[in-house]
Amino acid sequence: MHGILNKLGIVKIILAILCALAFIIGVYSIFQIYVGGTDAISRVVNWFMAQISEFLLFIVIAATFLLLKLIGKRNHPKIFFAIMIIGFTIAGLNSVPLLLTPVSISNANAEFSAGFGENWEITIPDDVKSFFMHSPFNIPQQFLGVPHKECQIIEDIAYYEDPDEEVTLYFDVYMPKESDENLPGKRSTIIKIHGGAWVAGDKSAGNMPVVNKYLAAQGYVVFDIQYGLRDTGSLGALAIITPENVVGNYTFIDMVNQIGIFTKLLENNYAAEYNANLESVYIMGNSAGGHLTCVTGFGYNEDYFNGTFSENINIKGIIPLYPPSNVLWAGASGLLPGSPETDPELFDAYSSTAIIDANDPPILIYQGMSDKLVDFSNSIEIKNACDNVGITCCNLLFPLAGHASDIFFSTNFGQVWLYYLERFLYLTK
Amino acid sequence: MKLKKEQFKIYNFFILLINLITVILGIIYFAYPIYSILWDILGVIMIIAWFGTFVLIFINDLILVKPDKIGKKINHFCYYCLAFYVLAWIFLLINTGLSSIVHTADMAMFTILGLITYIGFFGMALFGMCLAYLNIKNLENRGAWNLE
């Protein structure tokens, strides 16, 4: 009997420790969401916290009730009420990113109204809308996830070789699976460029394959490409998501050239092979890929990049997610030769805000307002530069969202983003 | 002020019913993953079911006579229920995170993620239903409850 009581006591202690752990994680989450550290670990953790806070909300509530049961109101009334207040405060503060979803939706609606007119939504026919998300947010998707869409995928097609650096670059292509005549995409082409600070990352698992599949199922032909990364010696944890075949001594110039080579191969070979529509092409990328997306999309008609890209593809939209707006710092890291003082033209050419002009296509930006890696002022700068020359720019700002806060596809940020992304693609195609 | 037995019984029936509806709509959600108005209904109902079950556990804690044999049994079940809820949300979180980045051809991973989602989601509803059922079944045992 005494042994059983002891066992029960141990179980209760373990439960109490686990509950305390849940509280600590909840508090850490609040710190990351509302304040955010500047060290390397905090910057990475900041990516996820706002996305997982709604799960922490329920975990902390369950832990609070568990602790309340363990303590007992009659035995320790003061501690009981203290735990109740602390627990519900932690849970409440973790719920704010989710509760701010209507603000994100309202921001996005305002941007679309400014970009495409007040009645933009009714310009999309009902039969097209039937392929789209019906609302910018719904709860079951948030907690239960979204099934991957069916599409045809061909992986690891080599498109570029650099024997000096022992680098071979590949791409994957995602296509509609069945008859696609009625699908809204009409085989428009999307070139997707992954992120990773220009030194890490990969296509496929490193570039949200679930989104590629979603878009392919809507009739788009998505090319998910690798590009040459800059070798910085040790990548640490990022090595897990970075294949060796892409790392060399590359600069922005090489990266954009490689993307240019891909566009030429697209025109000459791949468009026919995969039945991709080059009259309607989108460039899309996140973080470092967002920067390369902007340089490619805005630089396409710049004299500076003459001969870099195919001249026979028609870019209909640029879709960067949390993109750096300028790279004036790039000389120090070796990503561009020289400095802005010695070669201003070069640094301007690789800075989005300097190459935006009135002939550029519409742009849709995703930006978390609590991004500790690429501050949201970057997207504001791009938006202002677009406004100055009169091109459509929808800058979707997400309160309390960190860097890469769209990475969990089915969470509130990912849902709202996808809702407006599919509509942007349709409105601009 | 003591809670009336009839009020408590009605609340238990409500929790039993709302968790049952969650299970039914959940099956439809997973079986036919094409949007319908049922998704929005499920969203509201599942939140009510989760919070409702929390409240039921809290009420149980206040009115159960724990030294009683039945009271002790139900009290232990409340612990299992809360511990499972924590585990279930960790499962749902893992699914949300990994399903976005899982490699396209990794069927084993898809299967595991599907499984932990079903266990987490339906498990929570089943625990809620079992707790409400246990309460209703043992409500006539006056020694187990501190009710009016």
Chain B interface residues (partner A, CB cutoff 8 A)? 26, 29-30, 33, 35, 39-40, 42-44, 46-47, 50, 54, 57-58, 61-62, 75, 78-79, 82-83, 85-86, 89-90, 92-93, 95-97, 99-105, 110, 113, 117, 121
Contact A284, A319 (CB under 8 A): yes
Average pLDDT, chain A: 92
Q: For A162-166, A233-237, A283-287, which range has the lowest pLDDT when averaged over its residues? A: A233-237
β-bridge pairing A315-321 and A363-368: parallel
**pLDDT of A364:** 98
> What's the CATH superfamily of A102-428?
Alpha/Beta hydrolase fold, catalytic domain (3.40.50.1820)
Residues of A with Cβ-Cβ distance to B121 under 8 angstroms: 143-144
What gap in Å lies between CA A356 and CA A370, rounded to an integer? 25
Residue tagged 């897990």 (tokens): A240
**pLDDT of A149:** 87
**pLDDT of A101:** 96
pLDDT at A232 over 90: no
CA distance A342 to chain B (A): 42
Confidence of residue B105 (pLDDT cuts 50, 70, 90): low
Using one digit for the tens of pLDDT, what is the confidence trace for A357-369?
999 999 999 999 9
What gap in Å lies between CA B7 and CA A153, rounded to an integer? 57
Confidence of residue A68 (pLDDT cuts 50, 70, 90): very high
What pTM value is reported for the model? 0.93
Q: For A263-267, A325-329, B77-81, which range has the lowest pLDDT when averaged over its residues? A: A325-329
Return the higher-pLDDT residue of A135 and A36. A135
Instruction: Give the mean model confidence (pLDDT) for residues A137-162.
Output: 92
Q: Among partner residues A55, A69, A213, which is closest to B93 by beta-carbon distance? A: A55
Query: Which of A166-180, A410-424, B27-41: highest mean pLDDT?
Result: A410-424
Contact A213, A149 (CB under 8 A): yes
Cβ–Cβ below 8 Å for A65 and B90: no
pLDDT at A239 over 80: no
What gap in Å lies between CA A77 and CA A100, rounded to an integer? 34
**pLDDT of A255:** 97
pLDDT at B8 over 90: yes
**pLDDT of A4:** 56
Q: For A154-158, A167-171, A311-315, B34-38, which range has the lowest pLDDT when averaged over its residues? A: B34-38
Q: Among partner residues A68, A133, A145, which is closest to B95 by beta-carbon distance? A: A145
**pLDDT of B3:** 82
pLDDT at A2 over 60: no
- φ/ψ (deg, to 5) at A281: -125, 140
Name the residue range of residue B73's domain.
Answer: 5-144
Nearest CA-CA partner of A211 in B101, B95, B106, B32: B101
Instruction: Give the mean model confidence (pLDDT) for residues A162-175.
Output: 95
pLDDT at B48 over 90: yes
Instruction: Give the mean model confidence (pLDDT) for residues A317-341.
Output: 91
Average pLDDT, chain B: 92
Cβ–Cβ below 8 Å for B97 and A52: yes
pLDDT > 70: what percent of chain A? Answer: 97
**pLDDT of B2:** 76
Instruction: Give the mean model confidence (pLDDT) for residues A403-418.
Output: 93
What gap in Å lies between CA A45 and CA A67, rounded to an integer? 27
CA distance A186 to chain B (A): 21
Contact A25, A56 (CB under 8 A): yes
Instruction: Give the mean model confidence (pLDDT) for residues A383-388.
Output: 96
| Extents of the domains making up chain A | 2-99, 102-428
Cβ–Cβ below 8 Å for B42 and A140: yes
Catalogue the E-assigned strands of A83-219. Answer: 152-162, 167-175, 188-193
Q: Give kind and range of the element (H or E) at residue A397.
A: strand A393-398
pLDDT at B66 over 70: yes
Cβ–Cβ below 8 Å for B100 and A61: no
Write down the H helix ranges in A266-401.
Answer: 271-273, 288-299, 344-349, 352-355, 377-389
pLDDT > 90: what percent of chain B? Answer: 72
Using one digit for the tens of pLDDT, what is the confidence trace for B110-137?
889 999 999 999 999 999 999 999 999 9
Cβ–Cβ below 8 Å for A62 and B89: yes
Confidence of residue A108 (pLDDT cuts 50, 70, 90): very high
**pLDDT of B68:** 92
Can you state the angle between helices B5-31 and B37-63, rounded to 10 degrees? Answer: 150
Residues of A with Cβ-Cβ distance to B47 under 8 angstroms: 139
**pLDDT of A228:** 96
Structural domain total, chain B:
1
pLDDT at A5 over 60: no
Contact A242, A201 (CB under 8 A): yes
Cβ–Cβ below 8 Å for A48 and B101: no
